[in-house]
Amino acid sequence: MAKIEPKKTAMPEQPASERIQNFDEVPYGYTEEMAIAEAKRCIQCKDPKCIEGCPVEIDIPGFIRLIAEGDFRGSVRVMKEKNLLPAVCGRVCPQEDQCEKFCVLGKKFEPVAIGRLERFIADWEARQGEAEIPKPAPPTGKKVAIVGSGPAGLTVAGDLIKLGHKITIFEALHKPGGVLVYGIPEFRLPKEIVFREVDYLQKLGVELITSFIVGRTKTVDELLTEYDAVFLGTGAGLPWFMFIPGENSKGIYSANEYLTRSNLMKAYRFPEYDTPIMQGKRVATIGGGNVAMDSARTALRLGAEESIVIYRRSKTEMPARDEEIEHAEEEGVIFNFLTNPVAYHADKDGWVKEIECIRMELGEPDASGRRRPVPIENSNFREPIDTVVVAIGNSPNPLVPATTPGLETTKHGTIVVDETTGRTSKKGVFAGGDIVTGAATVILAMGAGRVAARSIDEYLKTGEW
């Protein structure tokens, strides 16, 4: 057996100094040679542990073996049996906490770069032109309404259309994709990729209706009169604020607003696109998650001279992926750890001019297992700032629960489901993704979609609740 390369095959990417000048994707992806070389690092375990780490159970050794053999078409087929959105997952899944975490190679060396290979195979297929459209399944005559076209909804749609059910997706915004389109920036996930995946679903026969707000345009109860089942994948779209003095000053955004303006509305191309966005020179982003990294990096691309992340804990507690933190550091994002804003100070016209922070120290571990940040008394200080992005989290959008009688929710506003089936308290209604878990990851939402799809199919067949 050939000697195993200890390190992952490197993926070429745009140099930091160049990429902060544009919104183009950062990594270029593997070439065919790189992909084959990386695929050959996989030792094809008899009892592969990596699959256990994948919420959608991709046959990981299977698709990698076919890459190693140069059979890219075959590899695509294996991938798409379980995952209809590989170009998305290859880019935004936290593989280090999932498949790659379980890779046997990882015990001695770096694990196989499963995510990069997944991305490669998806991009390879896209370059071949039209995707292969599988033969449609015989129609079952059953109709399913999917509310929300984010990762959970798209997965349910893909799984159920393959079984012959008639699928309609209702999306509140004017473009499909949910957080993949309004939230995740172009430089991390080109929107063209999301639209390509949605287009593929439409070619399979999925109907998509945009600008349709379930709860307002029609309620879930009304959908239940036309559809045999309803899946709720409405996400965690309600932004949190800290409710500290001055937070409503001009120049202060929720991350949702900042990213929606830039990503969905393409404000970075103003005035070609109508939607404006503040192009601050000194931008503070509050929070330590992936959304905070996306915001801080967006600020640089919009022309910020200084983009500062303010996080109340230390680097070790940051919930953002390592790769995102590294990219942000390379690009020159400044990190202010153990710091928390307490107030904003504005000028007479209401524009934010200064951020007032307090220093923090780490105390005993809290419910999350991370050490609790405690304010240090009399450590307040002020810094000049002209734009602020509050990226401290989101809760589920309350619109659907509020307009759906009989739908049980938790005190956090999430929908209560049976985890093994995605069934809610209301007959015929299923839910999955952030609306159930609170803000989490794309792949977890897809995993929940897969579970729900399976049980929706069963319900449609048996009618039993």
Closer residue to another protein (CB): 241 or 381? 241
Where do we find the tokens 């915001």? 295
**Ranges of H-type helices in 40-108:** 60-68, 72-82, 86-92, 99-102
Closer residue to another protein (CB): 67 or 172? 172
- Strand boundaries in 74-223, DSSP class E: 143-147, 166-170, 207-209
Taking the C-alpha atoms of residue 1 and residue 450, their distance in angstroms, rounded to an integer, is 38
- In the list 17, 21, 211, 379, the residue contacting another protein (rule: CB under 8 A) is 211
Residue 370 lies near another protein (rule: CB under 8 A): no
Residue 213 lies near another protein (rule: CB under 8 A): yes
Taking the C-alpha atoms of residue 233 and residue 253, their distance in angstroms, rounded to an integer, is 25
Closer residue to another protein (CB): 282 or 359? 282
What is the dihedral sign for C-alpha 179, 185, 188, 193? Answer: positive
Of 17-25, 43-51, 58-66, 214-222, the window that binds another protein (rule: CB under 8 A) is 214-222
Residue 397 lies near another protein (rule: CB under 8 A): yes
At residue 359, φ and ψ (nearest 5 deg) are: -80, 150
Tokens standing for residue 116: 């990069």
Of 5-13, 17-25, 250-258, 457-465, the window that binds another protein (rule: CB under 8 A) is 250-258
C-alpha closest to that of 160 among 462, 392, 454, 439: 454
Residue 281 lies near another protein (rule: CB under 8 A): no
- In the list 15, 129, 138, 271, the residue contacting another protein (rule: CB under 8 A) is 271
Of 1-9, 33-41, 207-215, 330-338, the window that binds another protein (rule: CB under 8 A) is 207-215
The most distant pair of C-alpha atoms in the chain lies apart, rounded to whole Å, by 73
Tokens standing for residue 194: 């999301």
**CB 90, CB 115: distance < 8 Å:** yes
- In the list 101, 143, 196, 266, the residue contacting another protein (rule: CB under 8 A) is 266
Residue 150: CB minimum distance to another protein, A: 12
Residue 218 lies near another protein (rule: CB under 8 A): yes
Residue 254 lies near another protein (rule: CB under 8 A): yes
> Residue 273 is which amino acid?
Y
Where do we find the tokens 């794309």? 442
- Strand boundaries in 112-215, DSSP class E: 143-147, 166-170, 207-209
Tokens standing for residue 257: 């607003």
At residue 68, φ and ψ (nearest 5 deg) are: -60, -35
Of 122-130, 245-253, 324-332, 407-415, the window that binds another protein (rule: CB under 8 A) is 245-253
Residue 356 lies near another protein (rule: CB under 8 A): no
What is the dihedral sign for C-alpha 378, 383, 388, 391? Answer: negative
Residue 412 lies near another protein (rule: CB under 8 A): no
Residue 261: CB minimum distance to another protein, A: 6
- In the list 12, 134, 350, 406, the residue contacting another protein (rule: CB under 8 A) is 350
Of 23-31, 52-60, 166-174, 443-451, the window that binds another protein (rule: CB under 8 A) is 166-174
- In the list 32, 132, 274, 322, the residue contacting another protein (rule: CB under 8 A) is 274
Q: What is the DSSP letter of 137?
A: P
- In the list 2, 130, 135, 243, the residue contacting another protein (rule: CB under 8 A) is 243
Residue 257 lies near another protein (rule: CB under 8 A): yes
- In the list 48, 62, 239, 289, the residue contacting another protein (rule: CB under 8 A) is 239
C-alpha closest to that of 138 among 167, 166, 159, 157: 166
What is the dihedral sign for C-alpha 247, 351, 239, 86? Answer: negative
Residue 343 lies near another protein (rule: CB under 8 A): no
**CB 186, CB 264: distance < 8 Å:** no
Residue 237 lies near another protein (rule: CB under 8 A): yes
Give the distance, in angstroms, between the CA of residue 407 and the centroid of all CA atoms in the same chain: 26
Closer residue to another protein (CB): 42 or 400? 400
**CB 414, CB 407: distance < 8 Å:** no
Of 63-71, 200-208, 225-233, 394-402, the window that binds another protein (rule: CB under 8 A) is 394-402
| Footprint on this chain of another protein (rule: CB under 8 A) | 172-174, 182, 210-213, 216-218, 237-239, 241, 243, 247-248, 250-251, 253-254, 256-257, 260-261, 265-266, 270-276, 349-350, 397-399
